[in-house]
Amino acid sequence: MSEVVMPRLSDTMEEGTILRWLKADGELLARGDELVEIETDKATMTYESDQEGVLHIIAAEGATLAVGEPIASVGGHDADAHPTAAGADSAPATPAGDGAGPAGARAPVAPSPASSSAPGDGERVRASPLARRIAGERGIPLRTIAGSGPGGRIVRADVLAAGEPSAPAPPPSAVQPPVGAAAGEPLAAPAEVSTAKGATRELELTRTQQTIARRMAESKATIPDFALSIDVDMEACVALRGELKALAASARGGPEAIEGIDTPTYNDMVVKACALALREHPRANASYRDGRVQLHSRINVGVAVAADDALIVPTVFDADEKSLGEIARETRALAERVRAGTITPPELGGGTFTVSNLGMYGIASFTAIINPPQAAILSVGALAPRAVVRDGTVLARNTMTITLVCDHRILYGAEAAQLLARVRALLEAPAALTL
């Protein structure tokens, strides 16, 4: 019998959530079979079996486990010849939650309170990372909690059930238990509570949202940033895109192809302009780590994509070496995979610079948050006709405001201004973008 453990599916992955088992408990596996869907801090991925034999599921759908923790076992080729994960018929079902077994899986034996609450001084309490974090936030000692997960492991539900012993109990008139709850019974966080603000619903963050929250808080707390803005005359880009649309329509045989996949968007032009400018200003294509600046040889531009309740940043690798058409096709394909939930961790890693565009929502300008450990991020506002003075005459010109947010530990004002000016120059004379 060999274990299947939570795999490390990205370089930043510390834990994963079992979303869906693609094989049933007791089913015979072959190498290469799609086994389980796992949600990481970056994406949802399908993990394929690298073993063959009968599957015995340990971790339930919805369980969150650290990398390396067992999620199943595989053994033998005859389901009848081996004990299955179902265990004895009389075994009680395990409640769903972090680390709980699936319906029909062997119910882990909960350790006695004595063994859970008083492990030896040198013994580490077994708990999921999420349970540890919640316990730390609520000030609940893990050694006082009896775990209900596999092997007595403490999971999220155990911590929530433990409550907050240090908080004084409210008077009976202040809190009424819900219908069906016994008096004094510890309750998990309610989905909806009634307060002076009215009915309040609590929404659990997804793993992706938790990662975004953590990284953005880290960015604002640790990066001394500054922002520079500049207006770009986009008339030449508008004319270029019109020509490319006409060429696409001609090549594909009709006006229905005008918005074909070979026609770059203005954001694609910005990505290409940034990539070329970064080649000339390599210090902006860098990261800050452990008191050192790391200069990267590849120019990989991340493009922020709005997904369901999240912001995902897939990467255009070697953007400076790709044609405008290649960038257009790649960014469109990446955005489609983000919205379909099929993007993979390798497509989300390796970025050295980020472009974030809210112009399609009519936002004139904004200041984005740096994606650590990158040196900078470019915010792109709406392209719209604005009054511009040319040779003493007020004209309506298509303009756009771009804002560069920089890590002052890597870039100083003059360097950042030169980079931003170069991006503007490339967009105002976009012939270089097509080479």
Query: Could you give the 3-state DSSP secondary structure of residue 403?
Result: strand
Q: Rounded CA gap, 143 and 89, in Å?
A: 32
Q: Rounded CA gap, 139 and 168, in Å?
A: 14
> What phi, psi does 116 have (nearest 5°)?
-80, -40
Beta-carbon neighbour count of residue 181 at 10 Å?
A: 11
Q: Is 357 exposed, middle or buried (0-12, 13-18, 19+ CB in 10 A)?
A: buried
Tokens representing 53? 């034999």
Give the DSSP H or E segment for 413.
Answer: helix 413-428
DSSP 8-state code for residue 217: H
Tokens representing 269? 């032009």
Q: Rounded CA gap, 366 and 347, in Å?
A: 26
Residue 332: what residue type?
R
Residue 71: what residue type?
I
Tokens representing 167? 């908080």
Buried b (16+ CB within 10 A) or exposed e, 82-109: bebbbbeeeeeebeebbbbbbebbbbbe
Alpha helices per DSSP H over 192-344: 207-222, 235-252, 266-280, 324-340
Active site residue 408: yes
From 56, 77, 296, 408, active-site residue: 408
| 392, HSE (Cβ side, Cα atoms, 13 Å) | 0
Q: Rounded CA gap, 352 and 277, in Å?
A: 13
Query: Could you give the 3-state DSSP secondary structure of residue 140?
Result: coil
Among candidate residues 166, 117, 123, 162, the one with its CA nearest the CA of residue 144 = 117
Contacts of 230 (CB under 8 A, 6+ apart): 401, 402, 420, 421, 424
Residues annotated as part of the active site: 408
